[in-house]
Amino acid sequence: MIRVLFVCLGNICRSPMAEAIFRNYVREAQLEGKIKVDSAGTGSWHVGKPPHHGTRDILEREQISYEGMKARQVHKEDWNSFDYIIAMDAQNMDDLKDFFQQEEGPVVKRLMEFVVDPAELDVPDPYYTGNFNYTYELVSNGCKNLLTYIKEHESI
């Protein structure tokens, strides 16, 4: 089983959006028995809360389920539990490096690193920008490319 963890700051906007979109792509590719998906935040402010209403609105519009999703914070055990830890921006990457402080482990990259010539390397936080549509476009593109990468590199 390949395990993928998406990470952002509070786990209510970008990372749950990525979790839901990626899970949908995995389902469409009939890889549910081979890939498990989760999301977490580097901060604890929103633990236990559902995705932000802006994220829910976009996912509902696109008919993508976010059922049962609740924010959680990154845990030390995540380092050994996931094969891929995918951050939304450079600050998330720095926070993850500070938190885990380990060299060997899962693939840890920003989502947009899987996109050829991305419009941006960081997925802007719609909690601050208010632009959930733009975030959705970037995250969808990144997730599509991440799934292609995983299928090729994990031979599934």
Answer yes or no: is pLDDT of 150 > 90. yes
Answer yes or no: is pLDDT of 19 > 80. yes
- Catalytic residue IDs: 8, 14, 125
pTM flag (> 0.95) = yes
Answer yes or no: is pLDDT of 103 > 80. no
DSSP letter for each residue of 108-148: EEEGGGGSSS-S-SS---HHHH--HHHHHHHHHHHHHHHHH
Secondary-structure breakdown of the chain: helix, strand, coil percentages, each rounded to the nearest 5? 45, 15, 40
What number is the average pLDDT over the span 69-97? Answer: 96
Tokens standing for 69?
Answer: 């999703």
Which domains occur in the chain, in start order?
A: 2-153 (3.40.50.2300)
